[in-house]
Structure 1
Amino acid sequence: MRTILDLELLNTFVAVVETESFTAAAPYVGRSQSAVSMQMQRLEQSLGKQLLVRTPKAVVPNASGNQLLEYARRLLALSDEASATITRQSELARVRLGVPDDYAASLLPQILRRFANEHPRVVIELVCEPSERLNRAIRDNRIDLAVVTRAADQSIEVLRRERLVWVSSPTHAAWYSDPLPVALFETGTARAHVLRALADSGRAYHCTYSSASLSGLVTVVRSGLSVAGLALCSVPDSLRVIQDVEGLPQLDDLEIGILQNPICDLRAVDRLRDSLRRDLSN
């Protein structure tokens, strides 16, 4: 008798593998943790194979599970493509995604590449601006989704914490200068964290450069003219991270979350949001 794979079960299976947890997968598939567990039991029973191994720290696929994973992703992508074609939605869906440029190069490439493979009929229009401007762009209906650094008074779901570190040129020791020369972003949480840390420590400083651009900040720091505070994920190889022993004040972590335009109800937007939530959390 031929076994017909259930796409709903496959979708849950992929979510479990990618989040490494029944509990973490539950919100992505709109079910409870117990329902996710029951779905995986049904999938394993239908195939007559164990697919997942429960370890103390995670749920991971075994050899059979890894084999099924590739087929599951392909089948789900084909299902999306077939649905779009049959319902005459032949045009490409477009999603306007905003992200600060210091996250765009470090956090997004792998996420967007995976999303493009899973949803080939969705075109993402990327808007790179500081978080403060992206907040306004969401309110003004200029973008659909935004990855932002949470401001002090902002109520959003935090998906990821990123270390904020001091950086300098690898060939200069600008942090020995007094007052401390600092390059700052024009606005935003990273700037606020740096200024608060300096004020709390009593360290004298002067601002040598202010920019909304990561590339501009990197150029100034690389020249040896100043230090700066950057998210660890966005520190390029051309700069060095200043260690705590060098005496600069400790910086608070950055909290990263997602904003969604409340009046946008495109299915493609929901799918990209779910992918960002899954991958940024991991």
Structure 2
Amino acid sequence: MLNPVWLSTFATVAASHSFTDAGRQLGLTQSSVSEHIRRLEESVGRRLMTRDTHSLALTADGEAMLVHARVILEAMSHAESQFRSPRLRGRVRLGSSDDLALGPLPSVLAAFRNTHPDVELEITIGMTGQLYQLLDAGAIDLAVGKRRLGDARGTRLFSGRLEWLAKPGTVVDLDSPLPLILVAEPSVTRAVVLDALAMAGARWQMVCTSSSHAGCIAAARGGLGLTVRSHFLAGRGLAAPVNRAALPDLPEVEFIALGAKHLSRPAETLLQLLQDSDLRGEWDGE
């Protein structure tokens, strides 16, 4: 058993290169420091330090133990800090675009819930443009979605290039207007796609409009036309058109987390968790 007291003494000795200095820092006698090191070495059955009257050095096993000691002591410090702090209570009103809600967001919410079980989550799913409106109106505390064109607010979570998706095996008729399946206004994705097509001089026809990305995916699966999503969030049952290379290129969009001006402690805590989480890395697609 690795006693954390022994590990703390060991790490302090390794940093100070002195039993005497380590004892002074820890408020221990030199004999107590020596006893902690001796018992740690006995517990692992390895020599961790070599010393004489003039020098002290870690053995190869001591170097390895120092790595483990630091990890263990840091983990214990985080745990102690969490349980010393008052438990968070209250409610967080979170708005999320449905593509993130169907993709990587649940893992972050699970981590938040496990750590703060007394906080109630109220989740609103909507188009990113609607979430901006709700946030500005004070109806939600936090929003996660795409960055609105021309808006500098929010903390970037990750970027993803939009990709064309359709029913597998689809060959787009390039002599006809592109059959588009897009979410309704206000939608960042819709605005980005239509701007890109206008710049490319491409012709298009809106064959289906949906209030959600899930509806767009369903329509695309049915073979109605083309839809788009970030390649990190590509939908199951869809694929790039066979002649994808001939279609106009689409730009990247930024996924962001955005908080209201005045946040409660629970809302600030969830916002920090979102900002620290690599949502792109935590989810590998449907």
Please report the TM-score for the alignment, with normalisation by the length of structure 2.
0.68
Is 1:185 aligned with 2:187?
A: no
- Within the alignment, does 1:199 sit opposite 2:198 as a pair? yes
Q: What is the aligned-residue RMSD (CA, Å)?
A: 3.3
Q: Distance in 2 between matches of 1:65 and 1:175?
A: 61
Name the CA distance, whole Å, in 1 between partners of 2:121 and 2:142: 10
Q: Structure 2 vs 1, CA of residues 132 and 2 (structure 1 numbering), >3 Å: closer, same or farther?
A: closer
Residue aligning to 2:29: none
Structure 1's unaligned 5+ residue stretches are: 7-44, 50-60
Unmatched segments (≥5 aa) in structure 2: 9-24, 27-35, 41-65, 282-286
Partner of 1:75: 80
Distance in 2 between the 1:63 and 1:241 partners?
A: 47
Please give the secondary structure, in 1, of the residue aligned with 2:219.
helix
Tell me the secondary structure at the aligned position of residue 123 of structure 1.
Answer: strand
Match of 2:147 among 150, 172, 189: 150
Residue 74 of structure 1 and its aligned partner are, at CA, apart by 4.1
Match of 2:60 in 1: none
Q: TM-score, normalised by structure 1?
A: 0.69
Amino acid in the other structure paired with 2:183: F
Conservation of the 8 A alpha-carbon contact between 1:97 and 1:146: yes
Write the distance in 2 (CA, Å) between the matches of 1:109 and 1:74: 23
Matches within 5 A, 1:51-200: 63-64=68-69, 67=72, 71-72=76-77, 74-80=79-85, 83-84=86-87, 92-156=89-153, 157-174=155-172, 176=174, 178-187=176-185, 188-200=187-199
Name the structure 2 match of 1:42.
none
Percentage identity across paired residues of the two chains? 26
Structure with greater Cα Rg = 2
Aligned to 1:158, the other structure's residue is in SS state strand
TM-fit CA distance, 1:166: 0.8
User: Is this contact kept in 1: 2:7–2:69, CA < 8 A?
Assistant: no
Find the aligned partners of 2:163 and 2:93 in 1 and give their Cα distance: 30
SS at match of 1:240: coil
1:2 and 1:146 map into 2 onto residues whose CA distance is: 41
Distance of 1:5 and 1:63 partners within structure 2: 9
Q: What are the Cα deviations for residues 205-241 of structure 1, in whole angstroms up to 9, with x where unaligned? A: 2110112211110111011110111122322221113
Q: Which moved more, 1:172-181 or 1:139-148?
A: 172-181
